Structure 1
Amino acid sequence: MSGVELTNVVKKYGETQVIHGIDLTVNEGEFAVFVGPSGCGKSTLLRMIAGLEETTSGKIRIGQRDVTREDPAERGVAMVFQTYALYPHMTVAENMGFGLRMTGHPKAEVKQKVNEAARILQLTDYLDRKPAALSGGQRQRVAIGRSITRGPEVFLFDEPLSNLDAELRVEMRVEIARLHKDIGATMIYVTHDQVEAMTLADKIVVLRKGVIEQVGAPLELYRDPDNRFVAGFIGSPAMNFLDATVQDGALQVPALGGRVEVPQTLPEAGRAVSLGLRPEHLRVTEGDSFTVDLTEALGGVSYAYLRASSGERIIVEERGDTRAKIGDTVGLAFDTDRSMLFDAKTEGRIR
């Protein structure tokens, strides 16, 4: 088991640069998740760590070794892809032990490692089955088991749950979290799903356009984002952003009907800012400033989609027995201590 360290890592395809000088440390035994929108470079960065993409410049270290120019097989990593890539004519046991057999390990050792991986992943009863007789979640567990048998220093996951249905995704999230707890290995996981990131990660790495926007623990990023992009990406539903202007020591927020006082130290008068409010920090009140366009009832919680007279859209989380209905006209209140301010131009946080 080893950590991973990236130093000024760059990736170019010809004249096009897609990874821009990444510096990152994933500590030994840590579960790090790369998140970001499509095209942000998260899978490319993972493949560079695996050795499947050449590093244009910079260094990649695994443990004490510089592996920047080493072949994938020499890096001590195992990768799980979103496609299971199982051999259909082989049994579960044969699939899980294939890599060990190809590298000349004794049959007894292969069997022992396969049985141990099957025990960890609760696949013991399926070792004689072929992939066609397994569910999607079971097939993905076999793919993970094939990685475990190799005894890698670092596990790499490239959107391993994206081909599963919603129920299986939840089940496999739990399985992967339990696996990390059981074996304590260093894991790096790529996903576009911030819910997966929040529930699995010790450390989240938020990427945009080949640059790291922020690194931190899930709740740290949720509660204290550095910029508007991170604030909007982490959290579901996303944070509401309302246009505002600094005026006379307060904010003028058209969507909220005018003057709003907030506890932050405000910049100079006339400066355009964005007021960030998470749905759970808002509450519907009596009034006529907003129209309820849509509601989503999810049982214990509902989301009301409001439209202000200024045209801006706001999502409010509701709990309890009394909730807004489509077509209602309502007012809005919020906890100013939970508000966040962002510069309208740079999108940086104003603290």
Structure 2
Amino acid sequence: MTGVTLQGAIKKYGETQVIHGVDLQIEDGEFCVFVGPSGCGKSTLLRMIAGLEETTGGTINIGSRDVTHMDPAKRGVAMVFQTYALYPHMTVAENMGFGLRMNGVPKAEIEEKVQKASSILKLDQYLKRKPKALSGGQRQRVAIGRAIVRGPEVFLFDEPLSNLDAELRVDMRVEIARLHQEIGATMIYVTHDQVEAMTMADKIVVLRDGRIEQVGAPLDLYRDPDNRFVAGFIGSPSMNFLECDVVDGTLTNPAFSAPIPSPIALPQSQTKVTLGIRPEHLQLDHSADQLTIELTEALGGVSYCYLGGIGDTRLIVEERGDDRSPEGAKVGLTIPAERIYLFDPDTGARIR
């Protein structure tokens, strides 16, 4: 069993603390994604697991071994970086087997492992090519192959698709997900792209300012966020938020023509809440005229209407079907109470 366990993991640069006592259990064979905005500490945490960043406090275990202060080469991990870092003068096969050759592995064994990895990654026909003769996606597969031949206990991916165009990113997402299913190894993947996180992960770890905001399966985080930050970060387009007054158990806001019953019983002291609602759960009411459709993005099977008219607040409504609401139209909104999320306006915590 080769899971990864972090207990009270801390990272400081001088007096500045960037990782604040992270506790995390990643199970054997799990595909875990660290996600969050730039500067949240996700790459730092990954590099701490790899041993490329010194852990200031706490412990890191890989399987049953305490690797907190162990040399990176002895941790049983392989890392795939954002940059391919391939040797331009070497062939694909030589790049993939270079690490083994440096460790004195017999030539026949290197060839066997390279051939097996190239078969998994569909690189057989490119083994004699040099990196300059490969596409970006092929180079990234070579970098992954170089990790596979080492036979690591844990694979670490640090934003490996950031340099690829949109189509290649989709293709490589599928490739990496298929690779995980095929070899069954523990994988930890860092990205700022929540779409990558939602489509690839068994478990998502949402980070902000060096702390874990929530851990869970992708759909669990989407359907049951613990706070406003997670609710707004997971989902594309992001959740709509409106500040509402609480009056006799109902929620009022100028965006709605009538008060909305609160989906839960609120305490008497709660006079204001932040209402959250996803774009697919809002419906346009063409008989009302509180809001203006400022922009419509038609994406084929789905469109997104951007509504204005409530100060600086902008709302997004998803529309499906062939009929599209025209820009400039005056509309209102209807909302099913059971789809509402409520958050404390001061702390951002979910009100349940």
TM interval, shorter chain, is over 0.9
* Structure 2 residue aligned with 1:312: 313
Corresponding residue for residue 2 of structure 2? 2
Equivalent residue for 1:21? 21
CA contact (8 A) 1:246 1:269 kept: no
Report if aligned partners of 1:35, 1:206 keep a CA contact under 8 Å in 2.
yes
1:45 and 2:45 are equivalent in the alignment: yes
Report the 3-state secondary structure (helix = DSSP H, G, I; strand = E; otherwise coil) of the residue aligned with 1:162. coil
Aligned to 1:335: 336
Aligned to 2:86: 86
Query: Residue 347 of structure 2 aligns with which residue?
Result: 346
- Give RMSD over aligned pairs: 1.0
1:157-306 matches, cutoff 5 A: 157-269=157-269, 271-286=271-286, 287-306=288-307
Quote the Cα distance in structure 2 between the aligned partners of 1:269 and 1:146.
59
Counterpart CA distance in 1 for 2:261 and 2:21 is: 40
Deviation at 1:257, TM superposition (A): 3.8
Q: Which residue of structure 1 aligns with residue 122 of structure 2?
A: 122
**Following TM superposition, by how much is the alpha carbon of 1:253 offset from its aligned partner in structure 2, in angstroms?**
1.8
AA of the residue aligned to 1:328: A
1:64-100 Cα shifts (integer Å, max 9, x gaps): 0000010100000000000000000000000000000
- Pairwise CA distance, 1:311: 4.4
Q: How many residues align?
A: 351
Say if 1:157 and 1:188, in contact at 8 Å, map to a contact too: yes
Amino acid of the residue matched to residue 342 of structure 1?
Answer: F
| Structure 1: runs of 5 or more not aligned | none
1:349 match: secondary structure? coil
Amino acid at match of 1:140: Q
CA contact (8 A) 2:117 2:149 kept: yes
CA distance in 1, matches of 2:332, 2:214: 35
* Residue-by-residue CA offset, 1:9-40 (whole Å, 9 max, x unaligned): 00000000000000000000000000000000
Name the SS for the 2:245 alignment partner.
Answer: strand
1:245, 1:31 → 2: CA distance? 42
Query: 1:144 corresponds to which residue?
Result: 144
Is the counterpart of residue 108 in structure 1 residue 82 in structure 2?
no
CA distance in 1, matches of 2:326, 2:294: 9
Normalising by structure 2, report the TM-score: 0.98
CA contact (8 A) 2:249 2:262 kept: no
Equivalent pair of 1:248/1:269 in contact (CA under 8 Å) = no
- Structure 2: unaligned runs, 5 residues or longer: none
What is the alpha-carbon distance in structure 1 between the residues aligned to residue 157 and residue 310 of structure 2? 46
Contact in 1 for aligned 2:254/2:290 (Cα 8 Å): no
* C-alpha contact 1:6 1:58 (8 A) present in aligned 2: yes
Code of the residue aligned with 1:82 in structure 2: it is Q
Distance 1:188 1:119 in 2: 23
Once residues 194 and 302 of structure 2 are traced to their aligned partners in structure 1, the CA distance between those partners, rounded to angstroms, is: 19
Counterpart Cα distance in 2 of 1:270 and 1:217: 31
CA distance in 1, matches of 2:324, 2:334: 15
Change beyond 3 A, Cα 1:320–1:251: same
SS in 2 for 1:284: strand
- Write out the 4+ residue segments of structure 1 that deviate beyond 3 Å after TM superposition: none
Alignment match, 1:69: 69
Distance in 2, Cα, partners of 1:309 & 1:182: 51
Report the equivalent of 1:153. 153
SS, match of residue 180 in structure 1 = helix
Contact 1:250–1:261 (CA under 8 A) maintained in structure 2 = yes
Q: What is the distance in 2 between the residues matched to 1:234 and 1:94?
A: 41
Q: Give the Cα separation in 2 of the matches to 1:28 and 1:131.
A: 33
Mapped to 1, the partners of 2:310 and 2:50 lie a distance apart of 52
Q: For 1:256 and 1:163, how far apart are their aligned partners in 2?
A: 43
Q: Which amino acid aligns with 2:115?
A: N
The residue type paired with residue 132 of structure 1 is: K
Query: Does the 8 A contact of 1:243 with 1:254 survive in 2?
Result: no
Q: In percent, how many aligned pairs have the same letter?
A: 72
